[in-house]
Structure 1
Amino acid sequence: MNQLIRPRQGRLIAGVCAAVADRFGWDRTLVRVLTVAAVIFAGLSLWIYILLWIIIPSDG
């Protein structure tokens, strides 16, 4: 499987959703929609997103 790396192209904010989608072979839009829904309905996921933004390295 691919490594968990935030892509420089195709990302909207930080590339976390794109990295997760690419790593597991999922659709980027689906991961983004699920992330937005999780942030709206469970505020803790915003902190998880920010933490992943810091932890996951960017390519290049």
Structure 2
Amino acid sequence: MQTKGLYRSDSQHMIAGVMGGIAERFGWNANLLRIVFVLVSISSAGFPGILVYLVLWLVMPKQKRVELYNS
């Protein structure tokens, strides 16, 4: 698993893995982060959270899988 930088999670994803990747990076609960994100987005004027999520989806790289082979 990658430990530095932000990435879109391959295992903790519901839509694109953005919140799952952030949660994995900082050791947070992904579902709790999603709930907080949605609540903040709804309470903000004009729903800028949707735009932020889309930008993060485009900017954050996908998590690289490490394949281990037995030789």
TM over 0.5: yes
Partner of 2:39: 37
Q: Is residue 57 from structure 1 mapped to residue 61 from structure 2 by the alignment?
A: yes
- Which ranges in structure 2 are unaligned for 5 or more consecutive residues? 65-71
Amino acid aligned to 2:51: W
Q: Please, what TM-score do these two structures have when normalized by structure 2?
A: 0.74
Say which SS state the counterpart of residue 14 (structure 1) adopts.
coil
How many percent identity over aligned positions? 32
Moved segments of 4+, more than 3 Å? none
Partner of 2:24: 22
Amino acid aligned to 1:33: I
- Which ranges in structure 1 are unaligned for 5 or more consecutive residues? none
CA-atom RMSD, angstroms?
Answer: 1.4
Count, aligned residues:
60
Structure of higher CA gyration radius: 2
Partner of 2:6: 4
Alpha-carbon distance between aligned partners in 2 of 1:36 and 1:56, rounded to the nearest angstrom: 19
